[in-house]
């Protein structure tokens, strides 16, 4: 992407992309192949957005990514007041509150990829976790967890991407220049369910 295109997208979103991801967009690619099949950032009829992304809340991208532990506490409080399904009006109102809480849980985050089966890789663009990569595994465990480097620190986008490149180079050497995506075992991404 050109600097002008990126600045235009950032102005629309109300947030400057984290440095590592910004450098990736400027000098590597606007999406595509990587640790995951990253969604491409592009300009469409309605402005800038990530292709095939119905999940990122673009107006909330500048809002700080919330503390996930306090979000879990809010979820438990909401589950404690779950009405009976037979009370359709109360159930519908409660379900809207649950949906609002789910959306708020990823404020400040881009759904960088759809990893299948309801799992997503998130890039945090705002707040204390800005620049880090998290994994949304709410499809099975109701939690969003940080991806981590081998030393336990939170993985930045750059850590995540370089880890994948290193694994791809090792796989290429073993496979004599032929490579299938499934043969790339980047430790940061592979540990997302640990």
**Comparing 78 with 142, which gets the higher pLDDT?**
78
pLDDT at 170: 85
Q: How confident is the model over 27-53, as pLDDT tens digits?
A: 998 887 777 788 999 999 999 999 999
Model pTM score: 0.88
Confidence at residue 121, expressed as pLDDT on a 0 to 100 scale = 93
Query: Per-residue DSSP letters for 53-110?
Result: -SS--GGGTTSPPPPHHHHHHHHHHHHHTPPPTTSHHHHHHHHHHHHHHHHHTTTTEE
Domain boundaries, the chain: 3-65+106-190, 66-105
Beta bridge partner(s), residue 114: 120
User: Distance between CA atoms of 55 and 160, rounded to whole angstroms?
Assistant: 21
Tokens at 179, concatenated = 């490579």
**pLDDT tens digits, residue range 153-173?**
999 999 999 998 898 888 888
* Average pLDDT of the residues in 16-22: 97
């Amino acid at each position: 992407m050109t600097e002008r295109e990126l600045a235009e997208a950032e102005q629309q979103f109300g947030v400057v992309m984290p440095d590592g991801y910004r450098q990736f967009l400027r000098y590597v690619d606007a999406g595509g192949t990587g640790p995951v099949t990253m969604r491409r950032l592009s300009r469409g009829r309605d402005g800038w957005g990530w292709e095939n992304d119905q999940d990122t809340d673009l107006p909330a991208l500048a809002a700080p990514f919330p503390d996930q532990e306090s979000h879990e506490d809010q979820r438990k409080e909401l589950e404690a007041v779950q009405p009976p399904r037979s009370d359709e009006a109360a159930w519908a109102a409660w379900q809207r509150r649950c949906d609002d809480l789910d959306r708020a849980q990823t404020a400040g985050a881009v759904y960088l990829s759809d990893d299948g089966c309801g799992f997503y890789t998130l890039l945090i663009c705002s707040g204390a976790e800005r620049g880090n990569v998290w994994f949304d595994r709410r499809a099975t465990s109701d939690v969003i967890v940080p991806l981590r480097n081998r030393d336990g620190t939170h993985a930045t986008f750059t850590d995540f991407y370089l880890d994948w490149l290193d694994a791809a180079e090792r796989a290429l050497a073993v496979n004599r220049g032929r490579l299938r995506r499934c043969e790339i075992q980047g430790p940061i991404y592979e540990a997302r369910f640990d």
